[in-house]
């Protein structure tokens, strides 16, 4: 694996960690009283988007 591949792997891992945080924030929004459904939906959508296609990673 070359240096560019290693950089892409690190960047993808970084975005995956952010995606996990987005998903956790979405859950916190749903656990609020009253739930913040719109904000939860936004963070969940962001999480999925980052997991499916992290920036700088071509598939």
pLDDT tens across 41-57, in order? 999 999 999 888 866 66
Q: Per this entry, what is the length of the chain?
A: 59
Q: What pLDDT sits at residue 29?
A: 98
Q: What pLDDT sits at residue 57?
A: 60
| CB 22 within 8 Å of CB 43 | yes
- The confidence band for 59, taking pLDDT boundaries of 50, 70 and 90, is low
Q: What pLDDT sits at residue 8?
A: 85
> Cα(40)–Cα(30) distance, rounded to whole angstroms?
6
The dihedral over CA atoms of 43, 44, 49, 55, expressed in degrees to the nearest 10, equals 40
Q: What pLDDT sits at residue 46?
A: 94
Q: What pLDDT sits at residue 25?
A: 97
């Amino acid at each position: 694996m070359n240096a560019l591949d290693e950089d892409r792997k690190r960047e993808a891992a970084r975005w995956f960690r952010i995606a996990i945080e987005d998903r956790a924030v979405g859950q916190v929004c749903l656990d609020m009283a009253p739930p913040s459904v719109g904000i939860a939906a936004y963070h969940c959508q962001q999480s999925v988007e980052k997991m499916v296609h992290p920036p700088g990673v071509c598939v």
